[in-house]
Structure 1
Amino acid sequence: MKIKIQRKKASNKENYFEEFDVKHEETILNSLIEVKTKHDNSLAFRCGCKTGICGSCAIRVNGIEKLACKTHLNENDIIEPIKNTQVIKDLVVNLDYEGRVLKNSNSFLNQLSDVEITAEDEKLIDRQSNCILCQSCFSSCPVFEVNEKFLGPYALTRALRYVEDKKEANPSPTLEKIQNNGIWDCTLCGNCTIVCPQFIDPKTDIMNLRMKSVQNGYEDKSMNSFNGGFDTGFDNFGGFNPNSF
């Protein structure tokens, strides 16, 4: 079975694809290990738990973000590193921005409350707490491609996790941090939701953060962005404006 892997070496600034014949037909991760041990020990990739928990083996398979350890190999699969970040070597990318976006989104506990937490309270943030930081959502995000300051799906999902956490006594700093280059910049395309291996729904999380922001007095910038893109032909009061044409 043939597999094509995008390569990048220090001596070669350009990316290129290299094809290998592999016998292992279970997971792509097993195939990568076979390539490294039997064909080219210089192949670089990340892996950890090999069970879909750590998220370190995130790659793109035929243009779609996947976990190598959970994805079955098919003939002529094209393997590439995740997008929107610097490729260090082959399938290994720089993940330094993880800490930056979490800090910029204030996605952590600000002030501990004295409220008693129930099992139902825990369920409110259970899904968002399952993020494994695999970066698949960042790689699939079209906004991050054009705006490197965009906080991105997983940081915003993490922000909602703390905004809804009953242990958080003051969610205001987090809501404040996600107004610019955050929830209003998202196009709600849903790519992040589609590729998430943990079945988290960042798109819905961002919509919930928009609602909570408006409820807390922040401006709804989604309509401003919508109306600012083109002239609708109507005045501010809903009447037709012939001068717009």
Structure 2
Amino acid sequence: MTAIRVLLVDDQELVRAGFRIILESEPGIRVVGEAGDGETAVRLAEQTHPDVVCMDVQMPGMDGLEATRLLTAGVEPRPAVLVLTTFNREDYLFTALRAGASGFLLKNASPEELVNAVQVLARGDALLAPELTRHVIARFGQGATAVPPAAAPAAPAATSALAELTDREREVLGLLAAGMSNGEIAKRLYLGEATVKTHVSKVLLKLGLRDRIQAVIFAYENGLAVRGE
């Protein structure tokens, strides 16, 4: 089995060393590089082609949020970005997700949580659990300023993509925007979880989205869900 390639980005060498020890103690994970700032991270990613980038937020020069945006908008294959920070700040969470991050983890997480996060992102999944998705949605309901206004008219490109969805797929997207897990959607629609998973995959594919977190943001940005609903 091919090892998961990880790039560590943090301006503190001691933190990077700790992450390296944790990750490389796990069979199937290999650290392919380290960077102390966002600019170096982007350059190293082009050279080392990591599967997952563990990204700090506050760094000298280019910060982790801008580096995340560049990495996830670059040429294929794009790495998944796991944002790691000591700051439990919602504006970092929203900005990281909108920049293209696939996961968000505080640095006080356990070694097991870090390893699991890397493995989850390497599989192409999002790290955020449904409970945290609901937290994001709750912030929409409170009129969070870190996210764009909801219920805005869909952009032409989004309207065209939405036209490709079946009625059932639009229904599933709406329930995703409500923060429901696949199991909860299955119960609501009287479907099997495997069927729901297939619908979610088709929604993401047709809309050009990476994961269910992007689907939630897409739904609010394009007027498919309203704050407080």
- Same fold, TM-score > 0.5, yes or no: no
**Structure of higher CA gyration radius:** 1
Q: Which has the higher helix share?
A: 2
- Alignment TM-score, normalising by the size of structure 1: 0.28
